[in-house]
Structures are given as C-alpha cells and as structure tokens.
Amino acid sequence: MTEELDIIEFDRPTRGSKEGYLMLHFNARQQLGRIIADPEQQPGNNRIVTFTKYMISSITDDEIRENIRVKYQTGLDELKREDLSNEDRHERTINISMEILGDITAFYDEFLGISHRLKIGMV
C-alpha cells in the first residue's frame, strides 16, 4: 500500500522553473509600469523606489545584484544632492528606475534567455 507521502506529483511545474521565474519577472514589470503610470502617484511617494529595489532583489546572481543595487543607490544619492522641484525630482526618479529596470531585464535575458539572436555564417 502506497502512502500519500510516497507519491511525487509531476502534474504542475515548480515555481523555480525557468518559465515560472520569467513569468514572475514580467508580472513585476507590469506592476512597476502600473505604479509609474498611476495618475494618483505623487512626487513624494516612494513606491517606485521601493518596487525597483524589490525587482533588484530578484536577481539570483549575488555580484550582479550588488552591482545593480549600488548603481541604483548612487543614482538616487546624486539626485538627492541636486536642487530640483518635486516634479523634476519625481521624473528623474522614474528615469533612473527605468534605466535600472533595463539592467534587470538584461540580466534575465543573458542568464535565462528571453531573446535569442541567430547568426548565420555566409560562405
């Protein structure tokens, strides 16, 4: 007689699968896009920064995650030193966050293969 503990289910992929991990990334990208596009978003609101840091934390490579985190924090620190209006500071925060989002997507592309480039040699 087989007990329930002895049964391994193969009917659904684990969350750690490549496709599942990429899906989490794309869902997070959509959520950040909604935060940025939210008409209720105020210049003093830190949701963009918090969510960008959340996305950085999803990078599985320790060195790459730390490099991107430092790059983002450096950009934010430089922004704090600038004499800008709240609206300009908010827009610059969005721009810095979007640049970092590009770096995060580049990580996923390089290590998990979002896109593929085919090169054909000519003889």
Average the pLDDT over each of 2-6, 48-52, 119-123 and give the range with the smallest value.
2-6
- For residue 77, pLDDT over 90 is answered with yes
Q: What pLDDT is stored for residue 11 in this prediction? A: 52
Q: What pLDDT is stored for residue 52 in this prediction? A: 93
| Averaged pLDDT, 95-111 | 89
Token pair, residue 70, equals 């430092």
pLDDT-based confidence at 87, cuts 50/70/90? confident
Q: In degrees rounded to 5, what are phi and psi of residue 3?
A: -85, 160
- For residue 102, pLDDT over 50 is answered with yes
pLDDT-based confidence at 43, cuts 50/70/90? confident
- For residue 117, pLDDT over 80 is answered with no
Average model confidence (pLDDT) across the chain: 81
Q: What pLDDT is stored for residue 6 in this prediction? A: 67
CA distance 16 to 40: 35
Write a three-state SS string for 46-110: CHHHHHHHHHHHCCCCHHHHHHHHHHHHHHHHHHHHCCCCHHHHHHHHHHHHHHHHHHHHHHHHH
Q: What is the separation of C-alpha 79 from the centre of its chain, rounded to a whole number of angstroms?
A: 21
